[in-house]
Structures are given as C-alpha cells and as structure tokens.
Amino acid sequence: MATIFHSSLPASLHAQTRIPLSRNVRIFNCVSLDQTTSASSTTSSSAATDSLRVVFAAGGTGGHIYPALAIADALKSLNPKTQFLFVGTPKSMEAKAVPFSGYPFTAVPAAPLVRPLFSPNNFFILPFVITKSTFKSYKILQEFNPHIVIGTGGFVSFSTCLAAALKGVKLVIQEQNSVPGIANFLLSLFADKIFVAFDSTVKSFLRRSKCVVCGNPVRLSLMKQESKTVARQHFFPNVAAKEGLEDVKVVLVLGGSLGAQTINFALLNSCYQMLNECEDLFIIWQTGVEAFSEMESLARNHPRVVLTPFLPALDLAYAAADLVVSRAGAMTCSEVLATGKPCILIPSPNAAEGHQFKNASLMANLAGSRVIMEDELGSTSLRNAIEEMLDNETLMAEMSERALRAAKPNASAEIAQHIISLVNLSTTKNDPAKALNVPAIALGAFLAALYPVAYLPQLFSGLKSQVSAQNMMHPQLFQKLMSNKFCERDMVQKVGLLFQCLAHWSTIL
C-alpha cells in the first residue's frame, strides 16, 4: 500500500486516504485544478483587461488606415490604459496619419501584389519582400508582446498578421469591402475573428463561423455632426459673413486619399459652368495628395470653391454637404451611409478584385446611390447628374433616409467589445509553440526556407566576422534549444522556436 497526498484534500483526510498501487504505476505530484486554474484564469483575464496591448496592421490608403484608427479610438474609450502600436510602411500615408492621430507607429518593408496576378514580380520579388517583412514583424511582436493583432488591410498587413499567427498571438481581421481581397482571404484561415461590413460578405470566406457582421468602423467625429451652418462657415468664412449659407447647395467631391484623375478633370471642365449658372452652388473639392499640384495650377480661384489635397476635417465636410460625389471605396460608402448623404459614385476600374464596382452596386441597392461608370464619365455626364439630383429634393430626402436605415453607426464600439472579450477568453500566455494551425505552419516553413535567400545581399556585404552558432541567437533561446531537447519537440514547437532564432539573427546582419 502507498499513500498519495493530494493538495485538494483536507489535511485531516491525508492519513486516511490509501490507494492500492501496482509496481508499474508512476506517481506524480498533484495540484488542485479547481483552485489554481480558477485563480490563474482570473488573474490573467484581469491583467489582460488592465494592461491591454494591441498591434494594428494597416496601410496603403485611407480606406485601410481610418478603420484601424476608429477601432483604436473605441478601444481607448473602453479601456484608457490600452497600449497601441501601429505597423505600416515607411514614407507612406499611414506614417503621417497615425502619429497625427496620437498613436505610436513603426515601419516594416512591404510590397504590393502586382496585377496581373501571374506577373514576374509576384514570383521573383514579392516572396522575398514578404519574408523579410514577416521576420521583422515577428521581432516587433516579440518586443511589444501584444495580446492581440488587428489587421484592417493594405499589403503591409499580410506579413504582420502572418507573423502573429506564427507566434500564436490572437489575430482578428476587418474586411471593409463587399468581397475580400486575396490577402484577407488567406489571413482568414489563421484569424480568430473576421469582422465584415455586409451580410453578403460572409459567403466569400471559407471559415464562415468566424465571421461577425458589424459594419465598417467610422470615426467618432463623423457620428457627432456639427450643424450645416457651422460646418459651412468653416469652409466659406468670407461668404458666410456677407450672405449667409443656410439656403445654398454644397457638393462635396472626394477623389480618394491619393486622388482620382478622371473625376478631377471631369469636374475641372464642368464646375465653373455650373457655378456661373447656379449662384447658390458651393463646391468642396478634395483632389487627393498626388493630384493637387496639377489641379491647383489648372483651376482658377473662385470664392465658392475650396480646393484641397486632403480633408483633415472630413466630419465638417460631410456636415456641410448636400450631395457627395466620390469613388466607391468601402470606407467612403460607410461614411456616406453613416452621415445619411445622397451620393454619386464613380467606381475605380483599377481597384483590386473589382471591389469598387461591387461596393457601388451594393450602395445602389441599399441607399439608391447614383452610379456612373468610368467609361461613361465626362464633364457633361457629371454636370447633368449633379444638377438632376440637386433639383430633386424629394429624391435627395429619400436617398438620405435609406442611407441612414442601412448604416451601422455602432460598428467601432461593437468590434472593440468583441476584441476585449476575445482577449479575456485567452488565459494562457502567448507562446510561439501554441495556437498555431496547419496553414500557418506550412507557410512559415516556406518563409523560413526563403529567409537566407532574402538576406543574401547582407550576407555578402554586411556579415559581422566571427559569428558563432551560439551568438547568432539570443543566449536564452540557445539555452532553450539545447536544454529542452529540440529534436524531440513536435513540429509546432520547432517552428515557433526557429522563428524566434531567425528573428534574432536578422538583427546582427
């Protein structure tokens, strides 16, 4: 007979509890699962809530950046102690917009997927850029140690979100468009949650059970619109002081954050004729950053036209407008719905996977938006569409009402609540050997094979002398590999440890 002492039993029962054992039975120390597991779970959940660390992967255009900022604002309002880090590309729109909004930013190398899909660039250059970007992202995640990574799109988000999946960090993605792009479709295989804007988007993903329809997150300032009078005084202060702006018509033209040449030239050739024919017409014209210099040199100054490369006070622009003319980017569509504005949409034929055409078609069904295809767009067609809508107040009121009914104004807060709940459910410490799935391991193994090739220039030109196998990784990692019998670990654990070593290796090249 042998006595087993169990820590969950009262001390008075230890002497009486005897269990017969055979000779080949191995005895292990036992602990009370009810007590310790419950305690550790409560502690971890509390710690995650009190000191939440969140990484956002977003970039390229405002349609990817501003949803991330909107979610960050909602998380901050729910938990002011949350720590944020945005990952994007250097010398990009996000490199300016994110710090301007008050959030820390760091850059990683990235390259877009080139069209057509079977371009030589996608086979011979892109894989190596993704490899370098993934390893740098992995190192960033090691240092920041986030509870969750949130991807809102843009080519930079793929490598950062992939690094999160390989490290075993909780991952969510947010798809703004009615149909997902290639990057988000692939990332959905690793994601814990997939936030989508429209019901019809769910069927585009393989893991539909992970999808949550919340709408697109729009900035809080858009939801708290100023009065039309105050907003119009902001853009036309001189006219407001003399005549007043209550009964005028204001058209807001948005060429996208980077610009839309076709829209800009169509408006350039028609706006002055409209202004001459209609004395109560005012235009707020965002040309886009890349097109501003050219438009400024061609357009004549006019007291009823505001020409700007970018609209930092976009909330005031929407509040001032009666009609919006714009590309059919996902975020613009969501902002139009949230503000209840009638709109004319000109979908870009260059958008990936035909996103904008699908967005515009959906907006026509939901809110009755007028759609003009790019090959139909000209100064005459644009002028006729604007004048027809401004002259029909009944149609404008109906479109505004339909837009407001279709809007989902609480998307940011709903997504933020889902994120906090997801973090609180995870009570185990992030470990690269945990929470990895088969697609992530396969892709990680492929990138690990590419890693030395991606760094060939540095290997030949910048490799430090006398680098031994041991100091090519952090001493703690080396100790971990040697002491824990690396060869006996399973494949999931090996991939996690190798990624830690390779991420550290990149810092010495």
Query: Mean pLDDT, to the nearest integer, of 22-48?
Result: 44
Whether the predicted pLDDT of 507 surpasses 90: no
Hey, do 47-218+416-461 and 225-408 end up sharing a CATH topology, with the first three levels equal?
yes
Query: What does pTM read for this prediction?
Result: 0.70
Query: pLDDT value at position 447?
Result: 57
User: What's residue 289's pLDDT?
Assistant: 78
Residue 414 DSSP SS3: helix
Query: 283 near 251, Cβ under 8 Å?
Result: yes
Q: Would you tell me which CATH number, out of the four given (3.30.70.20, 3.75.10.10, 3.90.930.12, 3.40.50.2000), belongs to the domain 47-218+416-461?
A: 3.40.50.2000
Residues near 202 by beta carbon (within 8 Å), at least 6 away in sequence: 196, 208, 211, 213
Which band of pLDDT confidence, cut at 50, 70 and 90, is reported for residue 21? Answer: very low
Q: How confident is the model at residue 393 (pLDDT cuts 50, 70, 90)?
A: very high
The whole-number pLDDT of residue 462 equals: 44
CATH class held by domain 225-408: alpha beta
Q: 45-101, pLDDT tens digit by residue?
A: 454 556 899 999 998 888 889 899 999 999 999 999 999 999 999 888 888 889 988
What is the rounded CA–CA span in Å between residue 83 and residue 445? 31
CB 301 within 8 A of CB 283: no
* Res 200 pLDDT > 50: yes
Residues counted in the chain? 509
Beta carbons of 20 and 109 less than 8 angstroms apart:
no
Contacts of 497 (CB under 8 A, 6+ apart): 432, 433, 477, 480, 481, 486, 489
Q: State the average pLDDT over residues 133-151.
A: 94
Listed by start position, the domains of the chain span: 2-44, 47-218+416-461, 225-408
CA 472, CA 11: separation in Å to the nearest integer? 52
Of the candidate ranges 21-25, 237-241, 328-332, 392-396, the one whose mean pLDDT is the lowest = 21-25
Type of residue found at 189: L
Exposure of 81 in the CB half-sphere (CA atoms within 13 A): 8
Q: What is the mean pLDDT of residues 131-155?
A: 92
